[in-house]
């Protein structure tokens, strides 16, 4: 499973992140859009060194080399600017042979992804837990039936919790990303472990 950081600060956030990794979290996407480069560096520095390889940067990609991070995420806007524009041949060489992911919001967009993206978020699957009035414009389970891109893993995002996480895998998604169900909970580690148990029991 993937967990995405809450955009704003959370009490005991670093301690929770380390605990999530200790419980088997595979990847943590660091999405802090309001962070300066210095604030991002300070945030990463607090996470245990042993988990650096499991961190994915959404912003301030220039910091990656300093911290030994080799995973990058691109918003839909950034992806189109760097990879889909006429100047795409100018894309920074720092991304060569690195793990890359991106965000999509329709199956058509997902199907049209160029080679090179390991996985892509497809959202929102359900009504968002963390974003007010952010809900699906289409039934993504239904539209996923027209998937033609199998080189990129499709990751469900949006409104996923302990009650609906199994449905994600039953209806064709490869992986799942959690945000609101973790950070809006009073017991984030417990929520993660329950979701993890459901996923593992389904995949076995």
Which residue ranges make up each domain of the chain?
A: 2-203
Dihedral sign for Cα 49, 177, 1, 195, please.
positive
> pLDDT tens digit string along 84-119?
665 555 555 678 889 999 999 999 999 999 878 999
> pLDDT tens digit string along 37-50?
999 999 999 999 99
C-alpha–C-alpha distance, residues 68 and 64, integer Å: 6
- Confirm or reject CATH 3.30.420.10 for domain 2-203, answering yes or no: no
């Amino acid at each position: 499973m993937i967990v995405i950081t809450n955009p704003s600060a959370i009490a005991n956030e670093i301690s929770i992140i380390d605990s999530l990794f200790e419980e088997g979290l595979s990847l943590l996407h660091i999405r802090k859009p309001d962070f300066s480069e210095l604030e991002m560096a300070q945030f990463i520095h607090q996470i245990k060194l042993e988990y650096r390889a499991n961190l994915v940067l959404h912003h301030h990609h220039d910091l990656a080399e300093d911290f030994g991070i080799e995973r990058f995420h691109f918003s839909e806007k950034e992806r189109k600017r760097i990879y889909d524009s006429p100047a795409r041949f100018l894309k920074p060489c720092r991304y060569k042979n690195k793990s890359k992911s991106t965000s999509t919001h329709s199956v058509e967009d997902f199907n049209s992804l160029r080679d090179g993206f390991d996985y892509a978020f497809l959202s929102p699957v359900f009504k968002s837990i963390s974003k007010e009035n952010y809900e699906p414009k289409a039934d993504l389970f239904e539209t996923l039936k027209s998937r033609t891109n199998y080189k990129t893993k499709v990751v469900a995002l949006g409104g996923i919790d302990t009650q609906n996480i199994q449905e994600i895998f039953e209806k064709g998604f490869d992986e799942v990303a959690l945000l609101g169900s973790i950070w809006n909970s009073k017991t984030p580690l417990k929520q993660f472990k329950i979701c993890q148990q459901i996923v593992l029991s389904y995949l076995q």
